[in-house]
Amino acid sequence: DSGVTQTPKHLITATGQRVTLRCSPRSGDLSVYWYQQSLDQGLQFLIQYYNGEERAKGNILERFSAQQFPDLHSELNLSSLELGDSALYFCASSPRGSPDTQYFGPGTRLTVL
Partner 1 sequence: SQKIEQNSEALNIQEGKTATLTCNYTNYSPAYLQWYRQDPGRGPVFLLLIRENEKEKRKERLKVTFDTTLKQSLFHITASQPADSATYLCALEAPNDYKLSFGAGTTVTVRA
Task: List residues binding partner 1 (CB under 8 A).
Answer: 2, 4, 31, 33, 42-45, 48, 50, 55-56, 58, 88, 90, 92, 99-107, 109
Work out whether the CA dihedral 77, 73, 90, 49 comes out positive or negative.
positive
Contact 99, 31 (CB under 8 A): yes
Which CB atom, from 48 or from 74, has the smaller least distance to partner 1?
A: 48
Residue 6 Cβ vs partner 1, minimum distance, rounded to whole Å:
8
CB nearer to partner 1: give 48 or 68: 48
CA angle 105, 12, 106 (to 5 degrees): 10
Of 10 and 80, the one with the shorter C-beta distance to partner 1 is 10
**Neighbour tally for 82: CB within 10 Å:** 12
Give the integer Cα–Cα distance in Å for 31 and 19. Answer: 22
Q: Give the nearest distance from C-beta 16 to partner 1 in angstroms.
A: 27
* Smallest distance from partner 1 to CB 107, Å: 5
